[in-house]
Amino acid sequence: MTDVSFVGNSNSIISCSWDNTTRLWNRRNIEDSLVLKHTSDVKALTVSLKHGKGASGSRDGMVKIFSLRSLKSIRNLQAHRSDISGVAIIDEEQKIVTASHDGTCRLWNLSSYDAEKTIVKQKERIRSMTTMPDGSSVFLGYQNGRIVGVNIANTKERCELTGHTDLVSALSVDPTGQYIASGSWDRTLRIWSLEDSKQVAKGQLVAGISSVAWSVDGTIVYSADQSGSVVSWTPSV
């Protein structure tokens, strides 16, 4: 399994996997699930309760837009030339942001499904992606350990965070938009201030990190790593 999320406050969970599927599960009856099939490993997903849609991206560069109610595909976007490393829906703007190992990050219209702009284009692989809570910026984690924040509206770089010594595999902005958590295959979890782009906390783990997430109140960071462990951490920031 590569990604999983609750669907709002409902009794549903959505997940995606290297078995080429995205699945919507009923928490009360785990045997009752809807399935959306891809033709390649599914690596990232996002949902929008406001628009009743979701999107999942796979290793072949395809992003499938689907109905949250039925999990039926609405539109298939051949968004990139290589693995999708991140996908996010910006509710207020009705946009979709995608990132890929092909080194590009793109913006799409959630209504027309047209490509609106290329936010970033370079050679280094993008391995992870997240957006600000207000959808104003996107943050990209690279193969070489860099993290770069980019303003979506004008595509200008807003910050660069350096410190990781291996690829950045996971990113998550806290609910206030003041801090970003990053996880890497260098076995560290780091917290950065988005006000001055400085590292404010660091944790050492036993294996490379595969995912990170903040608690709803922004006081705890959770990480999952390649040893199979899930760690909760209360950073002093």
Overall pTM > 0.85? yes
The mean pLDDT of 205-213, rounded to a whole number, is 94
- 4 domain residue, yes or no: no
Can you give the pLDDT at residue 121? 97
- Does 89 reside within a domain? yes
Choice among 28-37, 102-111, 200-209 with the minimum mean pLDDT: 28-37
pLDDT grade, residue 9 (50/70/90)? Answer: low
More confident residue, 208 or 236: 208
Structure confidence at residue 35 (pLDDT): 94
163: region left, alpha or beta (phi > 0 left; psi from -120 to 50 alpha)? left
Is 27 within a domain?
Answer: no
The CATH number for 193's domain is: 2.130.10.10
In a domain, 152, yes or no: yes
Quick one: which of 43, 41, 47 has its CA closest to 5? 47
Assign 3-class secondary structure to the chain. Answer: CCEEEECCCCCEEEEECCCCEEEEEECCEEEEEEEEECCCCEEEEEEECCCCEEEEEECCCEEEEEECCCCCEEEEEECCCCCEEEEEEECCCCEEEEEECCCEEEEEECCCCCEEEEEEECCCCEEEEEECCCCCEEEEEECCCCEEEEECCCCCEEEEECCCCCCEEEEEECCCCCEEEEEECCCEEEEEECCCCCEEEEEECCCCEEEEEECCCCCCEEEEECCCCEEEECCCC
**Does residue 39 lie in a domain region?**
no
Residue 27 has pLDDT above 80, yes or no: no
170 alpha carbon, distance to own chain's centre: 8
Residue 89 belongs to what domain range?
Answer: 44-233
What's the pLDDT tens digit per position in 68-91?
989 999 999 999 999 999 999 999
Q: Residue 17 corresponds to which tokens in the numbers above?
A: 């996997």
pLDDT mean across residues, the chain: 94
Q: Quick count: other Cβ atoms within 10 Å of Cβ 175?
A: 13
28 found inside a domain: no
Please check whether residue 16 lies inside any domain of the structure. Answer: no
Q: What is the pLDDT of residues 163-185, one digit of tens each?
A: 999 999 999 999 999 999 999 99
Q: Is the dihedral of CA 143, 62, 45, 195 positive or negative?
A: positive
How many domains does the chain divide into? 1
For residue 150, is it within any domain? Answer: yes
Cα separation, 176 vs 43, in Å, equals 26
Q: In whole angstroms, give the CA distance from residue 235 to residue 221.
A: 8
Q: Judge whether residue 10 has pLDDT over 80.
A: no
